[in-house]
Amino acid sequence: MTQVVLIRPGATCYDEQNRVQGILDIPLSERGRAEVVHLAERLADPCCDCKSLAALYCGPGESVIRTAETIGKALGLRPKRIDCLRNLDQGLWQGLQFDEIKRRNLRVFRQWLDDPMTVCPPLGETIENAFDRIKGALRPLIRRHQDETIGIVAGDPLVRLIACYLRREPRVQIEDRVPTGSFERIECSLDVERNGGF
């Protein structure tokens, strides 16, 4: 079994304004920087059992990289950047507040919340394509780190897609908000490859 500590970066001003960030490169806000310091302290606490991370990986993007660097410093690890772990490209929705998208097209917005696999933001990326990227990035990591614990820092909503993929959950939930500056542990094994996963 490989244990993945899936880490959500600290807040940006877009998180605070309830805007779609997607692949826009937004730095951590003041609140986000404080969240990351607190998160790094929690992960470095011996009671957390994350001090034994074999490796720390992150996607691109200012908030993700800064979060990974702060955590890496606290754990004595140098984060390795994997470009395929970039956030979901949400096209023309990026920069808009969720309420704006809802007002502009309520039917599409509801469909995106209920069944995001069936909706692609204008000029954006499908969730199916994002899952292909996730699979391509995670498969070698899980093989390389059998019986170890690794950390992965990724933006939202990609972090939710990664969690869904690792757990082999059949339904993607976009609506559920993941707290900024948080983490969760997920155990996964290579046998999921034979069962349609990795």
Tell me what the mean pLDDT of segment 24-44 comes to: 97
Q: What is the pTM (predicted TM-score) of this model? A: 0.92
- Domain boundaries 2-192, corresponding CATH code: 3.40.50.1240
**pLDDT band at 51, cuts 50/70/90?**
low
What residue spans define the domains of the chain? Answer: 2-192
Structure confidence by residue, pLDDT tens digits, 132-158: 999 999 999 999 999 999 999 999 999
Q: In this structure, which amino acid lies at residue 38?
A: H
Q: Do residues 190 and 19 make contact, with C-beta atoms less than 8 angstroms apart?
A: no
Q: Do residues 92 and 24 make contact, with C-beta atoms less than 8 angstroms apart?
A: no
Residue found by looking up tokens 């244990």 in the block = 3
Structure confidence by residue, pLDDT tens digits, 53-77: 999 999 999 999 999 999 999 999 9
- Count CA within 13 A, CB hemisphere, residue 193: 11
pLDDT over 90 (residue 194): no
